[in-house]
Amino acid sequence: MSSTSSTVLRAEHIWLDGKLMKWDEGNVHVMTHALHYGLGVFEGIRAYKTHDGRLAVFRLREHIRRLLDSAHIIMLQIPYSEDELVEATVDLLRKQKQQFANGAYLRPVAFMGDGAMGLGAVNPTRVGITAWDWGAYLGDKGIKEGIRAKVSSFTRNHVNVNMVRGKITGQYVNSILAKREAVLAGYDEAILLDISGFVAEASGENIFLVNKKGVIKTPPLSSPVLDGITRDTVLKLLRDAGHTTIEEVTVTRDALYIANEVFFTGTAAEITPVREVDNRQIGDGKPGPISKYVQDTYFRVVRGQEARYADWLTYV
């Protein structure tokens, strides 16, 4: 359907409920509570091949901490500690290090398992970690040339409806509807507004813009947006580079139209420039200098080429 849909080049093994097992053995019952009601949490994490040929997971602990925070928000008891989940992730990659020598996408997921049904049920939590080979989420061409985005007719849920600090499985139906609408209309990605009409985020990414005065803006965490780990990374990289004109503020959709640059950030999408929003060309219609700087620096960091950020990498 789009450049973001692809066949999973799967791993030989997964980690499920404390054990490494063959991919095809990682099954759950059709009566799994989360399948019916969406009560689960997940993370998207990337491991990269570093410049010296090793394999390193980017900001692994931050992702696992967010997974545990998400579970806490929805009162889902995870029977593993942060250290145990970190080690399980590393073990999974170590088991198939040769298969993922060039990198991998990792998906920890925790969800309510089978047992009782109904909204008030409390069943044992299942926890799994999978890995697969997943390239640029919005396409290699999108990374290089930028993508086309559409402001969605679907609104990002209100903060009293959507637990915005949590990466919660059932909440992504909102994103799926927005994404499908955009793709069917011929665009690459959707941008969702909040209930007040301000820009929130894309269907699976945070959003940045650079205005004509060179001010870099991104919606604040008081908006209904995920506290993105890539978003946080980009803010730190820009501030460390001496960019003082960075604002976490509400943004209108027409501010996107007249911006010099717009780009998305996310673990799957990495740093993806936006060349067009709602048929309005952004800037000169190609990735701008800030977007390219962020891209270049980000990829140097995840590949272990920036020593000052070495603590963000967990080597396998």
Which residues are tagged catalytic?
167
Handedness of CA 243, 64, 220, 209 (dihedral sign): positive
CA-wise closest residue to 224 among 133, 292, 158? 158
- Residue 96's alpha-carbon distances to 71, 90, 100, 210, in angstroms, are 28, 10, 7, 41
Per-residue HEC secondary structure of 153-203 comes to: EEECCCCCCCCCCCCEHHHHHHHHHHHHHHHHCCCCEEEEECCCCEEEEEC
Please report, to the nearest 10 degrees, the dihedral formed by the alpha carbons of residues 226, 228, 232, 234 taken in order: -120
